[in-house]
Amino acid sequence: MNFIINNKKKNWKIILLSAIFILSFINSKAQVQRNRTATLMGCRFDFSIIAEDSLLAEKYIDKAIDEIVRIENLISDWKPDSQVSKVNLNAGIQPVKVNREVWELTRRAIKISEMTEGAFDISFAAVDKIWKFDGSMKKVPSADQIKESIKKIGYKNIILDTLHSTIFLKIPGMKIGFGSIGKGYAADKAKEKMVRNHVKAGIINASGDISVWGNKNNGEDWKIGIVNPFEPTDIIGAFTLKDVSVTTSGSYEKYVELGGKKYSHIINPRTGYPVKGIKSVSVIGPNAETANGFSTSIMVLGVKAGFRLINQYPNYSCLIITDKGKILKSKYFNTKVEIYDSELKPATSP
C-alpha cells in the first residue's frame, strides 16, 4: 500500500511539474514583439514593443507616437505655433509664459550648459549658418565671419521666472532650440508612458537616442550596435543593455571636405569652429535627455576634458572612438560591450 501511495504522490508531482512547464511555455509564447518606424521631430524613430499580443503591442506603439507628437508640438522651433517659437519671436522684447514642462526642460538644459561650461548650449539655435553641409559650401568661413556668427549665443542670457513660468531671451535675434536633447527627452517620455501602461519591455530609438527597458522575448538583455565611425555602414560591436539609455554623437554623420580637410557638422558653440579629435562618443545612463547633453558636450570638449566631465557623474559613462581609431572608456564604464572589428582595439583612457 505504501508503494501505491508513494507512487501516486510521485505521479501527481510529475503532473504538477508538467502543468507548470506547459503554463510557462504558453505564457512565454504569448509575448510578442512588434516593430514600427515613423518619422517624427524631423528624424527617424524606431519602436520595438513586447506585449501579450500583436494588437495590443500596436496600440502601445500608437500611444508612444502620440506622446512624441505632443512633445514635438511643444518644443519644435521649426513649428511657428510652438511655445519655443513664441519664445524666440519675443527675444529682446518680453518674457513668454510657457507650459511648465517646457520651462522645466529649458531649466535642465541650462543646468547642462553650466555643468559643461558652455560646451552644450541650447541658444546655439541662433548661430548664423555660415557652415553649410549640403554641398553648397566652397571655402572655409573667415575668422571674422565665425566670430560674428556666435554673437547671439549664450545660455546666461536666458532668463527663467519660476513664479510665472516664463522664458525671456535678453538679446534680440537670440533663439533656443532642442535639436540636441529634444529627441532623447521624447524617447524618455514615451518610455515612461509605456512603463505606466505596464509594458514590460521595449526599445525606443530616436535616431541614435535610445531608451530600453525590460528584456527581449527570449529573456535576454537588449543589444545595441556600435557604428564604425570610419565606415558608417558597418557595426563594430554591441552594448548589452537593460533599463538604461544610450546616446551617440559623431563627427562622421555629416561633414564638409575643403582643401583636403574634413569639417564636422558639430560646432563648438563657444568658438564657432567644428569639433575635432573624436569620431564618436556613446554615453550610457539613466535617461537619454542628459546622456545626449553629455555626448554632445564631450564631442566639443575633446577626450581629456570630456572624461573629466563625465567622471564627475558615476551614473553616466561613455565610450569614445578617437579620430585615430582608439576606443576609450570612462572611469565608471561597467556596461557589457563586445568589439567585433579587430582593427579598432580598446585602449587605456588618458
C-beta separation of 320 from 299 below 8 A: no
Distance CA 74, CA 179 (A): 13
In the chain, domain spans: 32-75+180-339, 83-169
**pLDDT tens across 144-189, in order?**
988 988 999 999 999 999 999 999 999 999 999 998 899 999 999 9
| Fold observed for domain 83-169 | T-fold (1.10.3980)
**pLDDT tens across 262-319, in order?**
888 899 999 999 999 999 999 999 999 999 999 999 999 999 999 999 999 999 999 9
Three-class SS of residue 6? Answer: helix
User: What cell numbers appear for 317 in the block?
Assistant: 559613462
**CATH code, 32-75+180-339:** 3.10.520.10
Please tell me whether 335 is known to bind a ligand. no
Please tell me whether 296 is known to bind a ligand. yes
- CA 19 centroid distance within chain: 44
- Which pLDDT belongs to residue 341? 67
Same fold for the pair 32-75+180-339 and 83-169: no
Q: Is 276 exposed, middle or buried (0-12, 13-18, 19+ CB in 10 A)?
A: middle
